[in-house]
Amino acid sequence: MLNKSLDYCQSSKGFTLIELIMVMILVGILSVAIIPRFANKNAFDERGFFDQSISMVRYAQKVAIAQHTNVFVNVTPGTICLTYVADPNCASTTASEKVLALSPMPLIGDQSWMQGNTPADMVFGTIISFSFSALGKPSFANTTIINLNGSGTTQSITVERETGYVH
């Protein structure tokens, strides 16, 4: 009798039908929820650029405080750039124009110009140029909202007037 029960335990390896059906249901639910996220890259690119834009504005404030100088945030429909002098158009394209005309703020690592271009189907709804002072205070009188429009959604970057807090 003991040998028969041992044989039964050794031969009953595997999954039950209920376990297999539950795994298939879970895989189906996950695939329905996750696959569309990978198929539409625009939403991912838009969120990434929005986060990058917030980081650039915060970085401008931190550099202004650290270097005790004004740092300008320049926003056009398709571009956001940081400079040491006002350039409401982010217009300069060549390296010599950037150095001579704009005094662009370089990135720390590769010394390239701190500029971001919007992804396809996305534009800034607000065209603005403002600066952060050496104390980190923005140059405008009221709280400013920079809108970023794309794919039927609007995301907003808010810069508080007194503290310069960016959110």
Q: Which two tokens stand for residue 131?
A: 């600066």
Can you give the residue range of the structural domain that contains 150? 42-159
Name the helix (H) or strand (E) containing 129: strand 128-132
CB 93 within 8 A of CB 106: no
CA–CA separation, 70 vs 68, rounded Å?
7
DSSP state of 61: H
When pLDDT is averaged across residues 126-153 and rounded to a whole number, the result is: 84
pLDDT confidence of 150, banded at 50, 70, 90? confident
What pLDDT, on a 0 to 100 scale, did the predictor assign at position 92? 55
What pLDDT, on a 0 to 100 scale, did the predictor assign at position 19? 92
In a domain, 3, yes or no: no
What pLDDT, on a 0 to 100 scale, did the predictor assign at position 28? 92
Higher pLDDT: 5 or 119? It is 119
Average pLDDT for the chain: 78
Query: What is the length of the chain?
Result: 167
Q: Where are the alpha helices (DSSP H) in the chain?
A: 2-11, 17-39, 41-67, 95-97
CA–CA separation, 75 vs 124, rounded Å?
7
In a domain, 74, yes or no: yes
In a domain, 79, yes or no: yes
What pLDDT, on a 0 to 100 scale, did the predictor assign at position 17? 92
Residue 39 has pLDDT above 80, yes or no: no
What pLDDT, on a 0 to 100 scale, did the predictor assign at position 100? 43
Task: Say which CATH number the domain at 152 has.
Answer: 3.55.40.10
Residue 38 has pLDDT above 80, yes or no: no
Number of folded domains that form the chain: 1
In a domain, 33, yes or no: no
When pLDDT is averaged across residues 67-88 and rounded to a whole number, the result is: 84
40-55 pLDDT tens trace: 777 778 888 889 889 8
In a domain, 94, yes or no: yes
pTM of the model: 0.68
When pLDDT is averaged across residues 75-84 and rounded to a whole number, the result is: 86
88-118 pLDDT tens trace: 666 655 554 444 445 666 556 555 567 777 8
